[in-house]
Amino acid sequence: MKRVAVVRFPGSNCDFDTLHAARRTGTEAYFVWHRDTNLKSADAVLLPGGFSYGDYLRSGAIARFSPIMPAVQRFAEAGGPVLGICNGFQILCEAGLLPGALVRNRSLRFICDVIPVALRVEQTDTAFTNRYHPGDLLLMPVAHGDGRFVADPVTLAELEATGRVVVRYVGLDGQPLDGSINGSLNDIAGIANPEGNVVGLMPHPDRAADPALGNTDGTGFFTSIARWAGVPK
């Protein structure tokens, strides 16, 4: 059984959702407090959504300096699977574990809905998407005010050329949206590091991983952990 650490920051509000989603797939998921300095023998690390430190300065900018983050950094650099969901994605970008930044939605409004668009799976060779197939269309809730992914032209081109765009916002027919959801460049909803063990995305697979919620499209983000670690399910 894989041990999965769910890191809690002051202001996290999707920590229990993420813990529940991980446990439903058979992992031994447990909380790690942001003041801790070790991950307690984790096999994977999840940074949940929310508003760490009230999103002061920038979303994720203060959480990036939490005492637990050096351990997360070492774990990721050693090849350990790390997933950042929503605010967790923002923290990973602030910490330099993923490139680019998440800034204010183009509408300047908070989006909280099961948006009438899909996520198209672009890359399955990662620790968190290897249970999907390229081109799969997923429905997931979004809840963010600072979800617009931006990067300089060189970084953006590199992400596209090296297959590091993991999921992309598309219409329900799978066609491009041209940034109409939050203004993200190239409709990017999630990316990975070059090794594929660190993934961040703005939509919430944790809120789409239980039949009781009427949607299990996000389950693969959690079941993929075991396959990446070479453990058959």
Q: Look up residue 193 and give its amino acid.
A: N
Tallying the residues shown for the chain, one arrives at 233
DSSP run (H or E) holding 224: helix 220-228
pLDDT given at position 54: 79
pLDDT given at position 116: 59
Round to the nearest angstrom and report the end-to-end CA distance of the chain.
10
- Lookup: tokens for 50: 């929310």
153 φ, ψ (degrees, to nearest 5): -55, -40
- Which residues in the chain land under pLDDT 70? 114-116, 229-233
Whether the CB-CB separation of 29 and 16 falls below 8 Å is answered with no
pTM for the structure as a whole: 0.94
155 CB contacts (<8 Å, ≥6 apart)? 99, 100
Whether the CB-CB separation of 135 and 174 falls below 8 Å is answered with yes
Residue ranges and CATH numbers for the domains of the chain are: 3-228 (3.40.50.880)
